[in-house]
Amino acid sequence: MERSMDSSWVLYRRLWQYVRPYRGAFALAMLGYVIFASGQPMMMGALKYFVDGLTNPARARLVVPALGEVDTLYLVPAALMLVALWQGIGSFLGAYSMSKVSVGIIHDLRAALFAHGLRLPTAYYDSQDSGRIISRLTFDVTMTTGAVTEAVRVVVREGLTVVSLFSYLLWSNWKLTLVLAVLLPVLGAMMRSAGRKLRSASRRLQETMGRITAIATEAVLAQRVIKAFGGEQRELQRFARANDEDFQRQLRLARIGARNGSTTQLVTFVAIGSLLWLVLWLRGDASAGELVAYVTAAGLLPKPIRQLTEVNSRIARGLAGAESIFSLLDVPPEHDEGSFAPERARGEIAYEGVRFRYPNAQDWALDGLDLRIEPGSVVALVGPSGSGKSTMAQLLLRFYDPTEGCIRLDGVPLPQWRLAALRRQIAYVGQQVVLFDATVAENIAYGAGERAVSREEIVAAARAAHALEFIERLPQGFDTPIGENGALLSGGQRQRLAIARALLKDAPVLVLDEATSALDNESERAVQAALETLMQGRTTLVIAHRLTTVERADRIVVMERGRIVESGTHAQLLAAGGRYAQLYREDLVA
């Protein structure tokens, strides 16, 4: 239990860092809650005065110069209205200021999560559920603010209300109030017990929310595949299982919270009932007004006490959310300790004794690879699936680092390069084109990075990529939105936009990873022409299954099981009659 309490305080201290920028609003909220709570004793005082005035009218009459004798009972309603106004001011100040803190924390946490997510290594995303990552950014962040703002609002406002009422009761009749004091340890033990259960239930609830998000995301992205294979029922069942599990865990969380709240209320009212019974014995010489005010104040205690016990649910959810968020923020970002950052590389690439194995894999993806690529040359990597071709490209971009060996660009080991500078030297066009839900022009301009780019440059890149013809036929030309991942375009059109984006980047090194393998012949001819334009004057690494697309490469490297088995020009390798010649004949037959 102590470890749990310690971890809760650690989480709260970390969350406080996100409250600090809004400490002014937070202080105003605290002031508002103090104003609200201070109104309770005022109400009791006015009530006591009013009842005593009714039972003994002489006590409510005052002699005022120039007015004579005045019955002050008629001022009590006005005083109650002023107290209500006072509490209203406090309530508004507290609620609005705390909302400002809450919205600010959500904003800052999401910004921090998103920024950190962009810096995380590729290996992290390979091992994580994308739905759970997105759920952290949406569901967990909102839940976390409950621990900081909603919970603080209840603890401070209702806590101060309890303190002010309890102080009034002590001042009014300390003997009777000692009965209520017996209640506090009981309530504390109940809250600790419920808190542990709620935190555990909240953590499990977050896991199911991550699964629901993941299933829904997959279903949206794969809706064509689902329809084509008649998988609607299967997806419905998969979603229903996750949704039902979430339903049960939501109910469990609600059941724990409701049981805690109702039990607390029962204990509180038992104490209040005992108090009323004791009033008959311990009233002493108290006036009717004092007794009515005392009993009324005691009767006001159960509501804030119940809210204080129910806040455990919000705190438990919030801390579970904070635990999830900080576990992501604590994942180390990509290693970026290099300082080498020239404006433009020459494009000389060297793989020296490179061995690489993916996390949790048994076999080597690359096993003792040695390869040197001269600046401005075109080198094609061919071989069966799983031979390590794409892995070479991913290592060059430092999505992963070699397990053994070294990769150099212009003679400098990749870890010595500043990561942004390294990736600025490499343009990548893959088989799976990723486009953004934006206009044609914005997608092409993405290749320029932070550099400002003119419409003329965008048009020139599109023309060089053989994309201008189809862009001009679009309803709004370059300003046409293309939908999520370019859903409104054909495969060849999407590929040519990716090439235009790479052209605009104007990097000295180009990586083409199966850039035409998914296209029909007509689209492939258009894209191939665009690629030939793109390759001019650049060091190019071409990864291809269709060997007819790499015949004109300066050098062809044949790979199998992470090793180079042949290397040479197209003519040399055909004449050698080895593995390349065999693959080439199979490709022609296919």
One DSSP character per residue, 487-546 reads: TTS-HHHHHHHHHHHHHHHT-SEEEEESTTTTS-HHHHHHHHHHHHHHHTTSEEEEE-S-
Question: How far is residue 352's CA from residue 277's CA, in Å, rounded to a whole number?
Answer: 89
**Mean pLDDT of the region 509-537:** 73
User: Within this chain, do residues 54 and 172 fall inside the same structural domain, yes or no?
Assistant: yes
Instruction: Judge whether residue 589 has pLDDT over 60.
Output: no
Confidence of residue 1 (pLDDT cuts 50, 70, 90): very low
Residues of the chain with pLDDT > 90, as a percent, come to 18
Give residue 65's region: left, alpha or beta (phi > 0; psi -120 to 50): beta
User: Within this chain, do residues 402 and 466 fall inside the same structural domain, yes or no?
Assistant: yes
What is the domain extent for residue 354? Answer: 349-589
Distances (CA, A) of 497 to 88, 149, 288, 430, 484: 59, 46, 86, 12, 14
118 found inside a domain: yes
Length of the chain: 590
Q: Find, among 512, 444, 432, 499, the residue nearest to 474 by Cα.
A: 444
User: Within this chain, do residues 254 and 403 fall inside the same structural domain, yes or no?
Assistant: no
CATH of the domain at 55: 1.20.1560.10
262 found inside a domain: yes
User: Within this chain, do residues 247 and 369 fall inside the same structural domain, yes or no?
Assistant: no
End-to-end CA distance of the chain: 67
User: Within this chain, do residues 325 and 362 fall inside the same structural domain, yes or no?
Assistant: no
Confidence of residue 356 (pLDDT cuts 50, 70, 90): very high
**Mean pLDDT of the region 243-252:** 77
CATH of the domain at 566: 3.40.50.300
In this predicted structure, what is the pLDDT of residue 229? 53
Confidence of residue 517 (pLDDT cuts 50, 70, 90): low
User: Within this chain, do residues 353 and 248 fall inside the same structural domain, yes or no?
Assistant: no
User: Within this chain, do residues 197 and 113 fall inside the same structural domain, yes or no?
Assistant: yes
Q: Which two structure tokens, joined as six digits, stand for 470?
A: 């189809």
Q: What is the DSSP string of 298-352?
A: HHHSHHHHHHHHHHHHHHHHHHHHHHHHHHHHTS--------B--SS----EEEE
341 found inside a domain: no
338 found inside a domain: no
Structure-model confidence comparison of residues 72 and 143, the more confident one: 143
Instruction: Judge whether residue 577 has pLDDT over 60.
Output: yes
User: Within this chain, do residues 280 and 428 fall inside the same structural domain, yes or no?
Assistant: no
The string of pLDDT tens digits covering residues 357-383 is: 988 888 899 999 999 999 999 999 998
User: Within this chain, do residues 212 and 148 fall inside the same structural domain, yes or no?
Assistant: yes
* Structural domains counted in the chain: 2
Instruction: Judge whether residue 3 has pLDDT over 50.
Output: no
Instruction: Judge whether residue 392 has pLDDT over 50.
Output: yes
Strand (E) or helix (H) holding 1? none
In this predicted structure, what is the pLDDT of residue 346? 93
Q: Under a CB-based contact definition with an 8 Å cutoff, are residues 346 and 542 in contact?
A: no
